[in-house]
Amino acid sequence: MKRLLVRRLSKLADAIPRERNNPPLPRMPPFDHKPLPYEGPTAAEILKKRAEFLSPSMFCFYKKPLNIVEGKMQYLFDEDGRRYLDAFAGIATICCGHCHPKVVKAITSQTKCLQHSTIVYLNHAITDFAEALASKMPGDLKVVFFTNSGTEANELAIMMARLYTGCHDIISVRNAYHGNAAGTMGATAQNNWKFNLMQSGVHHAVNPDPYRGLFGSDGEKYARDVQEIINFGTSGQIAGFISEAIQGVGGIIELAPGYLPAVYKTIKKAGGLCIADEVQSGFARLGSHFWGFEAHGVVPDIVTMAKGIGNGIPLGAVVTTPEIAQVLTRRSYFNTFGGNPVCTAGGLAVLRVLEEEKLQENAYIVGSYMKDRIRTLQEKHNIIGDVRGRGLMLGVELVTDHQQKIPAKTEILHVMDHMKEMGVLVGKGGFHGNVFRITPPLCFTKEDADFFVDVMDIALSKL
């Protein structure tokens, strides 16, 4: 009772009218959902346990971390029942929206029937989803291997490239992010904020960053570095090249135009395979295309995916050609939980929701609208150095000097806190930690976009 009373008093304090000289806050779009009463531990109690029992490498956004207890579509609710517009969880896991009823129904229905059947028995859930997933792929990409995460998917893709080619050397792009295991950490390491782990056989190419890169938007000039790595860093042959279409953790960086076609041509000539990491940019997020690599006019040999594929459940996948897939018969590859009936039933439901609710079209329309509105903020706030991205995968880089592009690392934290207080949650990333990562669920509306931009405008003004 005491805890509930404290929360009610806190709500009353938040409801006190603002002083007359302060501008009115933007109004969050109406939403017909009432969160369930919460009587669990408080944020402070959870934080105390977390400090004692969880990994010290874990971190929280915001000076005062949020205790999120419920989610519905594009909104989240804290322990006090306060609603927040979620402009970040789309890239983390949520594609269709938090607790989408059709996805929830598919998962719970399968859970009531069968949770796990292991790989030595038949079950239609895994084959139904594999068939549906293959139908979204170009060319001969139609053999699916299911995993539990994007890390596992990328590890498997790298191993397949090495087995198929008989080579060990892998090329990845600096500032990329491919996962948390040894191999993917090695592919991520060079010039990335998160890891500093080097691994034999992994080479890092110059990042084709149109904003900060040496060659601006000339993708072919960046691509020459890949050829030089092959010429001088390997035997002249290569196992594979792995790249995101848009760098997610790296700061929503679009690869310079012409880069991927030129690199793919170079890799093919050296006998290697091209791996497209679609863990963050795939599944209709870009709006203009279902997969990020399609926006570059290339067809990879292997495609990896996760996060949005399961709308919040642990699910990843690797898709390749029948010829390349055969290499895993030499190693009798299997994954105990990858492709279990519960997760694949959920994955199939996600694909159906994307199509039925035309979420790819929505991502294009709403994302383009929001990007244009943010660009108007760039004209007003000098701290905005760059606005980039496609669909509902947008980045806003803050700098304190446009000429030298000095990262506004401290300022972005203040803006995030101000936005949270006004009811908007947004992510950050980039090598310097100065880029807003705007990646909401694909059910985001124009009204949500207006609210987001208006809140960001006020928060930037407070600087």
**Domains, the chain:** 2-16+27-96+359-461 (3.90.1150.10), 101-356 (3.40.640.10)
**Degrees to nearest 5, angle at CA 176 with 410 and 187:** 130
Spacing of C-alpha 225 from chain mean position: 27
Q: How big is the chain, counted in residues? A: 463
341 φ/ψ sector (left φ>0, alpha ψ -120 to 50, else beta): alpha
pLDDT over 70 (residue 41): yes
Contacts of 403 by beta carbon, 8 Å cutoff, 6+ apart = none
DSSP secondary structure of 17-82: PPPTTSPPPPPPPP----PPP--S--HHHHHHHHHHHS-TT---SSSS---EEEEEBTEEEETT--
- Residue % of the chain over a pLDDT of 70: 92
Query: Rounded to two decimals, what is the model's pTM?
Result: 0.92
Reported confidence tier of residue 22, pLDDT bands at 50, 70, 90? low
pLDDT for 7: 54
- The Cα 365–Cα 361 span in angstroms is 6
Q: Give the pLDDT mean for 75-89.
A: 96
**For 156-172, what is each residue's pLDDT tens digit?**
999 999 999 999 999 99
**For 249-302, what is each residue's pLDDT tens digit?**
999 999 999 999 999 999 999 999 999 999 999 999 999 999 999 999 999 999
Reported confidence tier of residue 57, pLDDT bands at 50, 70, 90? confident
pLDDT for 235: 85
**For 414-433, what is each residue's pLDDT tens digit?**
999 999 999 999 999 999 99
Q: Give the pLDDT mean for 323-329.
A: 94
Place of tokens 């929503």: 252
pLDDT for 197: 61
pLDDT for 227: 96
Reported confidence tier of residue 131, pLDDT bands at 50, 70, 90? very high
pLDDT for 139: 94
Are the CB atoms for 267 and 315 separated by under 8 Å?
no
pLDDT over 60 (residue 135): yes
pLDDT over 80 (residue 5): no
**For 186-237, what is each residue's pLDDT tens digit?**
776 554 545 556 677 899 999 999 999 999 999 999 999 999 999 998 888 9
Reported confidence tier of residue 15, pLDDT bands at 50, 70, 90? very low
pLDDT for 19: 39
pLDDT over 90 (residue 247): yes
- The Cα 28–Cα 75 span in angstroms is 11
Q: Give the pLDDT mean for 434-443.
A: 97
DSSP secondary structure of 359-420: HHHHHHHHHHHHHHHHHHHHHH-TTEEEEEEETTEEEEEEEEETTTTEE-HHHHHHHHHHHH
Enter the tokens of residue 427.
């992510």
Q: Give the pLDDT mean for 48-70.
A: 90
pLDDT over 80 (residue 182): no
Q: Give the pLDDT mean for 43-52.
A: 92
Q: Give the pLDDT mean for 432-458.
A: 97
pLDDT for 89: 85
Spacing of C-alpha 363 from chain mean position: 14
SS (H, E, C) 28-42: CCCCCCCCCCCCCCC
pLDDT for 193: 44
**Mean pLDDT, the chain, as a whole number?**
91
Q: Give the pLDDT mean for 392-401.
A: 98
Q: Report the candidate in 81, 89, 91, 73 with the shortest Cα–Cα distance to residue 31.
A: 73
pLDDT for 18: 45
Q: Give the pLDDT mean for 396-407.
A: 97
Place of tokens 């067809």: 299
pLDDT over 50 (residue 317): yes
pLDDT for 56: 86
Reported confidence tier of residue 83, pLDDT bands at 50, 70, 90? very high
pLDDT over 90 (residue 405): yes
Q: Give the pLDDT mean for 127-145.
A: 97
